[in-house]
Amino acid sequence: MMHLIQNFDNFILLYIKDNMHGPIIDKVMVVSSYLGNGGMVWIIIIALLVISKKYRRIGFMVLAALILSTILGDIVLKNVVKRIRPSATIPAINLLIARPLSYSFPSGHTTSSFAVAGILARYFKDYAVEFFSLASLIAFSRLYLYVHYPTDILGGIILGLICSGIIIYVFNKVSYLNNNKTPDILEKE
């Protein structure tokens, strides 16, 4: 089974390498990946939300999702799974970015991006497509740049959305206990 998954992952990466690379998209993917470095784009959004009294609670929720996704993905799962990156196992690839030193599964960029996008999409529904599009672009850039396998990205998406769900649940539960109001996840929309 693992052999089939590895073959599938390699097939997708080689397809991207052989059919999608070009000078303009190379630059777009490097910039897209850079936006996810250290959760940079998400930290900027968190700062903007926390500054605003109206959106401060959502800002703290996004921060909590970013922290939880980092702990579960980068600290726990990467060190349990210990999957080597594709750039280290598939020869003849010229990387466009510095070779990451950590393990591959799950993609930290993807996990944090989907954790944050899940929260933002929940509370800013009119921009849900934009948040998930940015998260998807960051995730795809990691495939394009040959630093993650497709299953690393899939694992990151799932873990990120689980993290956003946990944070929404916890914050609503705490709000309910503090205000004795119905948590918004239980309200009819």
Question: Alpha-carbon torsion 36, 37, 41, 42, what sign?
Answer: positive
The mean pLDDT value for 126-138 works out to 96
Q: Which residue has the higher pLDDT, 186 or 57?
A: 57
- Distance between CA atoms of residues 61 and 119, nearest Å: 7
Q: Are 62 and 55 in contact, with CB atoms under 8 Å apart?
A: no
pLDDT class of 186 with cuts at 50, 70, 90: very low
The mean pLDDT value for 150-154 works out to 96
> What pLDDT was estimated at residue 93?
67
The mean pLDDT value for 68-86 works out to 93
The mean pLDDT value for 70-99 works out to 84
pLDDT class of 188 with cuts at 50, 70, 90: very low
∠ CA 171-172-174 to the nearest 5 degrees?
65
pLDDT class of 146 with cuts at 50, 70, 90: confident
- Distance between CA atoms of residues 140 and 142, nearest Å: 5
DSSP-derived secondary structure for 17-45: HHHT--HHHHHHHHHHHHHHGGGHHHHHH
The mean pLDDT value for 117-131 works out to 96
The mean pLDDT value for 51-65 works out to 94
